[in-house]
Structure 1
Amino acid sequence: MRILVLGATGHGSGWIAAEGAVRGHEVICAARGRSGTVPPGARLVKVDRSRPGALAPLAGQRFDAVVDVAYGALGWVREALATLDAGHWTFVSSINTYADTATQHQTADAPQVPPVYEEERVDLADTTPEHYGGIEVASEHAVRDTMGARSLIVRPGPISGPGDKTDRFAYWAGRCHRGGPVVVPDDPAQPIQHLDARDLARWVITAAEQRLTGAFDAVGPVRDFLGTLTEIAAVVGRADTELVPIAPADLLAAGVHHWQGPASLPMWLPEPFYGLVSHDWRATRDAGLTIRPFADTVHAALEEDLRRGNRPRAAGLTDEEHAALLS
């Protein structure tokens, strides 16, 4: 197959391009090339999609499949659809498109937030999840309107694995690996789910090969959060690693934040958002998604954390903040 990946130097898109190349497909990557290099076996076509007409060098070419990972960029999606000739189109959207963030075990036909028809790309740091989700919904509509029954909509939840620079998953692997007490939220009811970027890539390429259509949530099985942290500690922790549960109210009072960012406990969520990390994955599993052993993802996260060294992390507590909670 001749596959065009729009992006292909970032975390998830890079693995998609790599998977296609490993399988012997001709993979063309259209990207600025600033966030990394294209994988071996793929070819880079430098484009800056923020500039109108950026995809013109690819016009008139025929692709068996296009995979677009544009996020928060309706204008980019529309221009790609108007410019490129493809037999099958995969748009990688987001779990943030769903209107109900609380109800667990929702499926891909659950109601979505209203579409937001904003052409300019938004900075995710400067917008709300609802606004971002609305742009993704509008982008999904554009893909369906243009490609019809030749389109696949993929809605990933939290992505883990090598190359993930959010530090949401790697924080826990690194903290447990350093040993000693590890502060965790004392919230046994919270679910969590994640998907290794390599598993996502493998499924996306298989779906393109099989011309899979429809909408699917790209998520792994639902797990309980505390159990997940316990398993991370068992996989990469030291002999003296000990999880120390602290009540959510006490964490909030101490200035600890949910989910991500500085002074946070990554992937910790309040109850009104449990639905975002507990979607029903069975339809995607039945459509071919396979999950690697959990320990593989944990080791990859730790390797990523160690490779990047001592640094200000994008998510998690500093050593000083962590120690203050234990004092």
Structure 2
Amino acid sequence: MRLLVLGGTAFLGRAVARTAHAAGHDVTCLARGESGGAVDGVRFVTGDRDRPDGLSAVDGETFDAVFDVTLRPSHARHAAAALAGRVGHYSFVSTCNVYPDDATPGQRADTAKLHDPAPPEVDNPRDGQMEMYGPCKVSCENAIRDGIGADRVFILRAGLIVGPEDRSDRFPYWVARMRRGGEVLAPGSPNDSVSFVDVDDLADWVLLAGRTGLVGAFDGMGPAMPRSRFLTELRDALAPPGTTLTWVDQEFLVEQDVRPWSGERALPLWLPLPEYAGFMTRDVTRSVEAGLPARPIADTALRTAHWMESTPQDVKAGGLAERDEAFVLREWHTRSA
């Protein structure tokens, strides 16, 4: 398969390029080359997608499949215009942020309501308009389907992507925390749901979609699991003997100014309920039936830990600091006594 990766120098794009190259596919990555390096052995060409002619380096070439992660509608329109008629299949990585309803569990990609597309004047949500991230991805989905043809487009609405080269502070926080051991603050309830997808599982699925011609919109995240399973399996894979989990309820965490999801003073992968009861509890039955794999948590954890140890300069610091966690735990034990 001849594959064009638009990007290919960071996280999921690199995973797709690496996996495809290892499988013997002919891979070309087109990017500015500012966010990271190309995969060894993969053809790399320079292109600036901010320009309407940003894909000129591959003018006249044909590809069996294209992979794209852009969040800018103008990039999607330019790519569709430049590649229409020259590609067999187009995989576009969108996001679960295209859905406005984060509260209702069990939603499906083929029936859930979407945000309205972004207004024409909004093209880059990173320019201080991150509330437009979901609407911009909707605009990208529409532009690619309209330009390439819905019968050749695979829309993958990704959830939380984790694994090696994850430069967020979300999954890596829990890897580092379990490595440290001791008493671990577990947020919320053991039965709260958690959902994520390994970057290499997603890369495998993208390649499967390109080979088999999978089309339509699917959620790219693993089946929801109880938080107790997530943390217990992480502990068993990574933590020193004697590591324990102490469950602290949501109301107390809010009182202590512990924040959700990511960032300073946050407990990653924890979200307030019921407002976000649907965010990590989507029905991904169609995705699993369409070939989305899900490797064991221990595999993802150990590979992530190895990457974090080998390239510590790339690991983002964040989450609840050790001293803050210890303080919250002391206060919780005092309250519970």
TM over 0.5: yes
**Structure 1 residues 287-324: Cα deviation after superposition (integer angstroms, max 9, x where no partner):** 11111122101112222333344898443112222222
CA RMSD, 1 decimal: 1.9
Partner residue of 1:262 out of 264, 274, 280: 264
Hey, what does 1:78 align to over in structure 2?
77
Partner residue of 1:161 out of 157, 160, 163: 163
Note the C-alpha offset of 1:220: 0.7
Query: SS of the residue aligned with 2:156?
Result: strand
Number of aligned residue pairs: give it.
Answer: 325
The answer as to whether partners of 1:21 and 1:40 remain within 8 angstroms in 2 is no
The percentage of aligned residue pairs carrying the same residue is 38
**Which moved further from structure 2: 157-166 or 217-226?**
217-226
**Structure 1 residues 262-289: Cα deviation after superposition (integer angstroms, max 9, x where no partner):** 1100010012112121111211111111
Matching residue's letter, 1:23: A
Hey, what does 2:176 align to over in structure 1?
174
Matching residue's letter, 1:86: V
The answer as to whether partners of 1:165 and 1:314 remain within 8 angstroms in 2 is no
In structure 1, the gaps of 5 or more residues are none
Q: Distance in 2 between matches of 1:68 and 1:310?
A: 27
**Which moved further from structure 2: 52-61 or 164-173?**
52-61
Matching residue's letter, 2:13: S
Matching residue's letter, 2:263: G
Hey, what does 1:46 align to over in structure 2?
46
CA separation of 1:313/1:37 partners in 2, compared to 1, >3 Å: closer, same or farther? closer
**Structure 1 residues 210-230: Cα deviation after superposition (integer angstroms, max 9, x where no partner):** 111111111111101233112
Q: Distance in 1 between matches of 2:313 and 2:135?
A: 37
**Structure 1 residues 39-78: Cα deviation after superposition (integer angstroms, max 9, x where no partner):** 233111112222342212222211111111112x000111
Query: SS of the residue aligned with 1:87?
Result: strand
**Structure 1 residues 128-176: Cα deviation after superposition (integer angstroms, max 9, x where no partner):** 44x2111111111111112221111111100111111112111112111
The answer as to whether partners of 1:170 and 1:304 remain within 8 angstroms in 2 is no
Hey, what does 2:109 align to over in structure 1?
108
Matching residue's letter, 2:32: R
Hey, what does 1:323 align to over in structure 2?
326
CA separation of 1:36/1:311 partners in 2, compared to 1, >3 Å: closer, same or farther? closer
**Which moved further from structure 2: 251-260 or 111-120?**
111-120
Q: Distance in 1 between matches of 2:37 and 2:195?
A: 29
The answer as to whether partners of 2:46 and 2:57 remain within 8 angstroms in 1 is no
CA separation of 1:169/1:33 partners in 2, compared to 1, >3 Å: closer, same or farther? same
Query: SS of the residue aligned with 1:315?
Result: coil
The answer as to whether partners of 1:74 and 1:117 remain within 8 angstroms in 2 is no
Matching residue's letter, 2:277: Y
After TM superposition, the structure 1 = structure 2 runs for residues 182-261 of structure 1, keeping only pairs within 5 Å, are: 182-261=184-263
The answer as to whether partners of 1:115 and 1:135 remain within 8 angstroms in 2 is yes
Normalized against structure 2, the TM-score is what? 0.91
Partner residue of 1:287 out of 287, 290, 295: 290
Hey, what does 1:7 align to over in structure 2?
7
Query: SS of the residue aligned with 2:154?
Result: strand
Q: Distance in 2 between matches of 1:247 and 1:312?
A: 29
The answer as to whether partners of 1:183 and 1:246 remain within 8 angstroms in 2 is yes
In structure 2, the gaps of 5 or more residues are 331-337
Normalized against structure 1, the TM-score is what? 0.94
Partner residue of 2:305 out of 302, 305, 324: 302
Matching residue's letter, 1:106: Q
Query: SS of the residue aligned with 2:222?
Result: coil
Q: Distance in 2 between matches of 1:70 and 1:189?
A: 35
CA separation of 1:274/1:301 partners in 2, compared to 1, >3 Å: closer, same or farther? farther
Hey, what does 1:137 align to over in structure 2?
138
Q: Distance in 2 between matches of 1:253 and 1:94?
A: 31
CA separation of 1:120/1:31 partners in 2, compared to 1, >3 Å: closer, same or farther? farther
Matching residue's letter, 1:184: A
Hey, what does 1:57 align to over in structure 2?
57
